[in-house]
Amino acid sequence: MAKAQKNFVCSNCGAVTTKWSGRCDGCGEWNTIAEEKPLSSAGPTKKTLGGMRGKEIPLSKLSTKESPPPRTSSGLGEFDRVLGGGLVPASAILVGGDPGIGKSTLLLQAAAKFADAGLKVIYISGEEASAQVRMRAQRLGLSEAAVQLGAETNLRDILTTLEKQEPDLVIIDSIQTMWADNVESAPGSVSQVRAAAHELVTFAKTRGVSVVLVGHVTKEGQLAGPRVVEHMVDTVLYFEGERGHQFRLLRAVKNRFGPAHEIGVFEMTGDGLSEVTNPSALFLSERDQPAPGSVVFAGIEGTRPVLVEFQALVAPSPHAQARRTVVGWDGSRLAMILAVLEARCGIPFAGLDVYLNVAGGMKVSEPAADLAVAAALLSAREDAALPKDCVVFGELSLSGSLRPVGQTENRLKEAKKLGFSSAIAPAQSKAGEKSGMDMRLMSDLVGFVGEVFGAG
């Protein structure tokens, strides 16, 4: 009976179930579950391996001398930073992102830089014809770069070519277009994407080749998303940004060779992506006058301080159910902060629409931004602007007290560098005096409301 079991796989997170449902229990996405044939190698047939043993594998001590991997810098500083200081040989990297966000552009530019740095680079495009890629290279002023170009989707042919050419770096654009002829399902399905990624990563590890896989983030269930191969690779980078903005963030969500959560900032221009070495100045550039509802948060992204502006708008709601709209920050965290403001400070938001936005298309996930969000909400509600030269940071607990956050010194240094002169921070924040900033330390939200906005 169990023989004829059907297999349903979520194309977003790869969760496997035995029956179809409209919503994946694993990741909560709708309409991403589709039936799929199990891989042809049926896996173990018996419960145990039995008495027959394989060959012994060599074991070694932890203390074996291992020098740090030699890294190659691309010269694109922001890209190298996100990789953890350059490209590690024989590493597998996944670059995910929405279609059209600029993945191919970024990787073509990086490929050219790595080729300049002396690596043998092959760029395999499964989506565009060679002529199209060449045209883009021309537009980017890279037509002289020593990158070898191939347009192919058949994995067997690609691996044969790579075996022959012995490159240092291969870029596969994109993993969803690759197909292995030993797997019986359509290109882009979870089995195909997994099989192709597995083959390429294994090839990379055994031949000492670095491989970059491009993966489209997909909203519909037809194509498997990059998340289904995240566990196979060493480094997972996501390229994100708002369509209307020219800024693009390359974010490391996993990195076996460097810090995760590191970001690289780029700007999409008429001739490709250019690096943004001082992102704080960029995210704040839209701000000239202090406005009610606008608060500057001194944040940390990866290892680097970044100042971002939170903007809030609070208005009487015409609807029975007031709106809560958030861009660039977590919606449930906003609900929590509204609840704390109401319960601990007696400031109700019922009947008021609340809009919260992070300027410049940036996404913030640090809890240290709690106080900045609370300040923006209060400032918008009371229609009172915070001083123009003031930054805010601190984590809020449900009791309404403020918790100190890490890297206070770096946050203050960055703020000072950008011309800010005062900071509102949790009471126990160390390193405040040394910074030369005017520190206003608060131990709880009630005190903060009293001091900054009068009695509230």
Specify binding-site residues: 97-104
> Which residues within the stretch 3-62 sit at the binding site for Mg ion (CB under 5 A)?
none
Name the minimum Å distance from CB 428 to ligand TYD.
Answer: 44
For the CB of residue 121, give the shortest distance to ligand TYD in the complex, in Å. Answer: 17
Residue 299 DSSP SS3: strand
Instruction: Tell me whether residue 172 or residue 378 sits nearer to ligand TYD (CB atom).
Output: 172
Decide which of Mg ion, ligand TYD, none touches 361; Cβ closer than 5 to 8 Å per partner kind. none
Query: Interface mask (CB under 6 A) for ligand TYD, residues 249-268, using x and -?
Result: -------------------x
φ/ψ of 433, rounded to 5, equals -65, -40
Q: What is the Cα–Cα distance from 40 to 94, expressed in whole angstroms?
A: 26
Query: With CB cut-offs between 5 and 8 Å by kind, which of Mg ion, ligand TYD, none does residue 351 bind?
Result: none
Which C-beta is closer to ligand TYD: that of 29 or that of 98?
A: 98
Burial class (CB in 10 A: 0-12, 13-18, 19+), 14: buried
Which residue ranges are tagged as binding site for ATP? 97-104
Taking residues 131 to 150 in sequence order and writing x for each that binds ligand TYD by CB under 6 A, - otherwise, the string is -----x--xx----------
Shortest separation between residue 222's beta carbon and ligand TYD, angstroms: 17
- 102 is an interface residue for ligand TYD by CB under 6 A: yes
Give whichever of 101 and 296 is closer to Mg ion, judged by the CB atom. 101
Judged by beta carbon, residue 32 or residue 105, the one nearer ligand TYD is 105
Q: 96 or 361, CB closer to Mg ion?
A: 96
What are the structure tokens assigned to 434, written together? Answer: 């040394």
Checking DSSP bridges between strand 402-403 and strand 395-396, what pairing results, if any?
A: antiparallel
How far apart are alpha carbons 250 and 132 in whole angstroms? 24
Q: How far is CA 27 from CA 142, 235, 237, 287, in A?
A: 40, 21, 20, 37
Maximum Cα interatomic distance, the chain, rounded to a whole number of Å: 79
| Separation CA 29–CA 13 (nearest Å) | 9
Residues 124 to 143 in contact with Mg ion, rule: CB under 5 A = none
Does the footprint of ligand TYD cover residue 100 (CB under 6 A)? yes
Q: Note if the bond before 174 is cis, omega within 30 degrees.
A: yes
Taking CB under 5 A as the binding criterion, the range among 4-12, 29-37, 100-108, 133-141 that sits at the site for Mg ion is: 100-108
State the binding partner of 101 from Mg ion, ligand TYD, none, CB within 5 to 8 A by kind: ligand TYD
> Does 215 interact with ligand TYD (rule: CB under 6 A)?
no
Interacting positions 265-294 with ligand TYD (CB under 6 A): 268, 270-272
Q: Decide: 212 and 87 in contact? Cβ < 8 Å.
A: no
Alpha-carbon distance 44 to 53, whole Å? 15
Strands of 272-275's sheet in order across: 147-151, 121-125, 169-173, 210-216, 92-97, 235-240, 247-255, 263-269, 272-275
Contact residue for ligand TYD among 15, 87, 103, 279 (CB under 6 A):
103
Nearer to ligand TYD, 21 or 138 (CB): 138
Q: Which of 14, 96, 97, 226 binds ligand TYD (CB under 6 A)?
A: 97
Q: DSSP state, 419?
A: T
Candidates 28, 99, 346, 387; binder of ligand TYD (CB under 6 A) is 99
- Asked if residue 108 lies in contact with residue 140, where contact means CB atoms within 8 angstroms, the answer is yes
Is 104 an interacting residue with respect to Mg ion (CB under 5 A)? yes
